[in-house]
A and B are shown apart, each in its own frame.
Chain A
Amino acid sequence: SYVLTQPPSISVAPGKTASITCGGDSIGYKSVSWYQQRPGQAPVLVIYLDSARPSGIPERFSGSNSWNTATLTISRVEAGDEADYYCLVWDRPHDLIFGPGTKVTVL
C-alpha cells in the first residue's frame, strides 16, 4: 500500500504564510489534490493536478509537487483559513489515497 504523511497540526499568525506538506515515496510523479474542511462542513477542493486552482479559490492558495513532497501554501493567512487540510493522491496501481490531514490553527 502507498503511505502518505502530513503534520498533524500547524499554527500560523494572521498575514503570514502556512505551508502544509504531504509526503510519499516519489509523490512528485503522482497527481495531488488538496481539500479544505472547515468544522462540520464537507471538504472543498482548493488545488488539483498539483498546482491548479478551481474557480472561486483565492490566489492565496497555491500548490507544488516535487520528489517526495507535495506542498500546499496559503499566503496572507486569514482567520477563515482555519480548517483541516487533506492531500489526495492518484496513482494508477493504488487509485485514490488520502493523507491523514493537517489541522491549521490561525493564532
Chain B
Amino acid sequence: QVQLQESGPGLVKPSQTLSLTCTVSGDSMTSGGYFWSWIRQPAGKGLEWIGRAYFSGTTNYSPSLKSRVTISVDTSKKQFFLKLTSVTAADTAVYYCARVGGNSEFGYYLDSWGQGSLVTVSS
C-alpha cells in the first residue's frame, strides 16, 4: 500500500519561495499511470487543489496559482516536489501531497494522501 510523507520548512518569509518534498513508499512512481498532486488547506477553511505532475514531466496547475507554482517528480528518489514563489501570508496553510488515481477517460481522484505539513508565511 502506497504511503506519502511531506517534508520541508515550517516557516517561510514573505516574498520568498515555499519548497516542499513528498516522499513515496510502498509503490512505484512510474507504473499504474498515476499523477502526483499537491493540495492545501488554510486553517479552518476548505481544500484547494494546487496541481499535479506525471513522472514524464507533464503538469497541470490550478489557474489561480499557475503563475507561481512548479511541481516536479524525481522517480530515482521516489519523491515529488512543490515550489511556490512570491509567497504571502495568504499562502499559510497545511499542504498535503496525494496520489492521483484514475485516467482521462473516466476521471481522476485522489486515492492516497500524506499526513500534511503546516507552512506558515511570516517575517
Candidates A42, A43, A48, A98; contact of B48 at CB < 8 Å? A98
The docked-state distance in angstroms from the alpha carbon of A30 to that of B102 is 13
Q: Is A12 an interface residue (CB 8 A)?
A: no
Cross-chain contact B104 with A92 (CB below 8 angstroms)? yes
Contact (Cβ within 8 A) B110 A33: yes
Q: Is the CB of A54 closer than 8 A to any CB of chain B?
A: yes
Chain A's nearest CB lies how many Å from the CB of B17? 23
Docked pose: A1 CA to B49 CA in angstroms? 14
Residues of A within 8 A of B37 (CB): 96
User: When the two chains form the complex, which single residue of B46, B109, B115 contacts A33, counting CB atoms closer than 8 Å?
Assistant: B109
Residue in B closest to A1 when the chains form the complex, CB atoms: B63
B interface, by DSSP: helix, strand, loop or mixed? Answer: strand
Contact at A54–B107, with CB atoms within 8 Å?
no
Residues of A within 8 A of B102 (CB): 31, 48-49, 90
Number of interface residues of A (CB under 8 A): 25
Using CB atoms, name the residue of chain A closest to B104: A92
> What are the residues of chain B within 8 A of A90 when measuring CB–CB?
102, 107-109
**Chain A interface helix/strand/loop/mixed:** strand
A99: nearest residue on chain B (CB-CB)? B46
Interface set, chain B 90-123, CB cutoff 8 A to A: 96, 101-102, 104, 106-116
Given contacts A86-B46, A86-B47, A43 and B108 within 8 Å (CB-CB): no
Tell me which residues across on chain B come within 8 A of A95, comparing CB atoms: 49, 52, 60, 62
Interchain CB contact (< 8 A) of A48 among B52, B111, B113, B114: B111
Are the C-beta atoms of A31 and B96 separated by less than 8 Å?
Answer: no
From residue A107, how far is it (CB to closest CB) to chain B in Å? 23
Within 8 A of B (CB), among A83-107: 86, 88, 90, 92, 95-101
User: A residues within 8 A CB of B107?
Assistant: 30-33, 49, 90
- A positions within 8 Å CB-CB of B: 1, 30-33, 35, 37, 42-45, 48-49, 54, 86, 88, 90, 92, 95-101
